[in-house]
């Protein structure tokens, strides 16, 4: 059977998703006492996280200390650098504590990109989202699994970023791409000029593609992070999370180039978003 691991990234207590495929991970454990986007955690919250899952501050190499800037990407980096800690999978995926793929081909023509689910209806989705057997039957058919794209309608990806985030940082990232990986520049310009967007950094990839992607991805992000003057970013742009928001656009640039080059089987799936107060109990 193909070995598949999908990280479920947590920064606070909520429903614990853990199966042989799904691996919960606490992102930012080495800075867990510092304020994050939802505030500070109390001792009970920290105990729950430390008890129920591995932290991204383990292994031979990690960037857990950069979590307040890189968000869920510190977990991705950890898995890339420490595959032995997740049994060296043939496929690696990244999801969030409240966003999951729906492994259901019957919804291919459904116009809704993601579906909301609260605690009262969560049981209806177990078979479609958290079923290891179903995941093993679908994932190996493809090289990459992605979420369905969001549609920004009249706005391009670049326009939406510059409206909602710190605008100068996107131009900086484009310049870094042009310098470090000029072969991606045309794909960057194309992706940012159209209105379809792969969100949330969610993906499942063959390990060989994961390695290719992470080398490229973190090369660029580390250079952008080095060049950004965070002191000049206004409060309304959510302070330090600029790198995380940039990374979502960078992810789409990588996929755009991959599609242009061809020879990869790619599948897009709808996603489930958990809403409301879902208590930290286990599903398996």
Side-chain-facing half-sphere of 219: CA atoms under 13 Å = 13
Task: Report the DSSP beta bridge partners of residue 36.
Answer: 39
pLDDT at 101: 96
CB neighbour list of residue 40: distance below 8 Å, 6 or more residues apart: 33, 34
The helix-helix angle for 185-193 and 167-180 (nearest 10°) equals: 150
User: Of 279, 283, 282, which Cα lies nearest the Cα of 13?
Assistant: 279
Whole-angstrom distance, CA of residue 146 vs CA of residue 195: 17
Give how far the C-alpha of residue 183 lies from the chain's centroid of Cα atoms, to the nearest Å.
24
Write phi, then psi, for 263 (nearest 5 degrees). Answer: 70, 20
pLDDT at 37: 63
pLDDT at 36: 65
**What are the CA-CA distances from residue 92 to residues 137, 205, 211 (Å)?**
15, 6, 10
CB neighbour list of residue 284: distance below 8 Å, 6 or more residues apart: 18, 19, 130
- Give yes or no for a contact between 28 and 115, defined as CB atoms under 8 angstroms apart: no
The SS3 call for residue 248 is helix
In the predicted structure, residue 280 carries a pLDDT above the cut 80:
no
The per-residue pLDDT for range 157-166, each reduced to its tens digit, is 999 999 999 8
The residue whose two tokens read 């992810």 is 251
pLDDT at 234: 76
Whole-angstrom distance, CA of residue 63 vs CA of residue 30: 9
* Domain segments of the chain as ranges: 4-283
C-alpha dihedral over 92, 245, 47, 41, to 10 degrees?
-170
Task: Specify the higher pLDDT residue, 252 or 107.
Answer: 252
In the predicted structure, residue 107 carries a pLDDT above the cut 70:
no
Q: How many CB atoms lie within 10 A of CB 151?
A: 11
Q: Is the pTM of this model over 0.85?
A: yes
Q: Of 15-19, 75-79, 118-122, 132-136, give the lowest mean pLDDT range.
A: 118-122
The SS3 call for residue 55 is strand
In the predicted structure, residue 19 carries a pLDDT above the cut 80:
yes
pLDDT at 104: 85
The per-residue pLDDT for range 239-254, each reduced to its tens digit, is 678 999 999 999 999 9
Task: Specify the higher pLDDT residue, 68 or 236.
Answer: 68
CB neighbour list of residue 64: distance below 8 Å, 6 or more residues apart: 27, 28, 29, 30, 31, 55, 56, 57, 74, 78
What is the pLDDT of the chain when averaged over all its residues? 92
Tokens representing 256 are 């755009």
Tokens representing 254 are 């990588």
The helix-helix angle for 242-261 and 207-227 (nearest 10°) equals: 140
């Amino acid at each position: 059977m193909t070995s598949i691991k999908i990280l479920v990234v947590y920064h606070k207590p909520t429903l614990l998703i853990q199966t042989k495929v799904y691996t919960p991970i606490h992102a930012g454990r080495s800075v867990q006492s510092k304020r994050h986007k939802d505030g500070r955690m109390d001792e009970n919250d920290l105990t729950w996280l430390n008890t129920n899952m591995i932290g991204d501050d383990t292994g031979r190499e990690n960037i857990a200390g950069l979590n307040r800037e890189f968000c869920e990407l510190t977990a991705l980096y950890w898995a890339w650098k420490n595959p032995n800690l997740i049994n060296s999978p043939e496929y690696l995926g990244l999801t969030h504590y409240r966003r999951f793929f729906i492994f259901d081909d019957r919804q291919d023509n459904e116009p809704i990109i993601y579906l909301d689910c609260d605690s009262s209806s969560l049981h209806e989705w177990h078979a479609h989202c958290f079923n290891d057997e179903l995941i093993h039957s679908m994932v190996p058919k493809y090289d990459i699994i992605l979420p369905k794209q969001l549609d920004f309608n009249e706005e391009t990806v670049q326009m939406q970023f510059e409206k909602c985030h710190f605008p100068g940082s996107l131009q900086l990232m484009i310049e870094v791409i042009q310098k470090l990986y000029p072969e991606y520049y045309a794909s960057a310009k194309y992706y940012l000029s159209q209105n379809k967007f792969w969100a949330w950094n969610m993906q499942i990839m063959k390990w060989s593609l994961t390695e290719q992607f992470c080398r490229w991805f973190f090369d660029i992000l580390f250079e952008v992070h080095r060049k950004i003057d965070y002191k000049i970013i206004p409060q309304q742009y959510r302070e330090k999370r600029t790198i995380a928001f940039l990374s979502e656009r960078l992810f789409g640039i990588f996929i755009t180039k991959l599609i242009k080059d061809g020879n990869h089987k790619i599948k897009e799936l709808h996603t489930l978003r958990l809403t409301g107060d879902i208590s930290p109990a286990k599903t398996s």
